Amino acid sequence: MTTPSLLMSVLKYIPDRMYGFLLSDSGQEIFFHLRVFHPLSERPYSPKCLSCKSSCLWSETPPPPILGEQAMVDLDENSETPRACRVVRLVEPIPLVGTVDVFDAARGYGFIHGVNGETYHLHRCEVVEGRMPLPGQPVLFYPGKRQGKPRACHVKIC
Per-residue pLDDT tens for 16-64?
899 999 999 899 999 999 999 998 755 555 555 555 555 555 555 678 8
- pLDDT at position 76 is 92
- Whether 3 has a pLDDT exceeding 80, the answer reads no
pTM of the predicted protein model: 0.82
Cα dihedral across residues 85, 28, 65, 123: positive or negative: negative
* Max Cα distance, the chain (Å): 52
**Residue 10: band (very low, low, confident or very high) from pLDDT cuts 50, 70, 90:** very high
**Whose CA is closest to 95, among 120, 130, 72?**
120
Share of the chain above pLDDT 90, in %: 58
Q: How far is CA 29 from the centre of its chain?
A: 17
Q: Does domain 6-89 have CATH number 3.40.50.300?
A: no
Residues of the chain within CATH 2.40.50.140 domain(s) are: 6-89, 96-157
Specify the CATH number for 96-157; select among 2.40.50.140, 3.40.190.10, 1.10.3720.10, 2.40.360.20: 2.40.50.140
- pLDDT at position 50 is 54
- pLDDT at position 47 is 55
Q: What is the mean pLDDT of the chain?
A: 86
Q: Is 39 in contact with 91 (CB distance < 8 Å)?
A: no
**Residue 78: band (very low, low, confident or very high) from pLDDT cuts 50, 70, 90:** confident
**Residue 84: band (very low, low, confident or very high) from pLDDT cuts 50, 70, 90:** very high
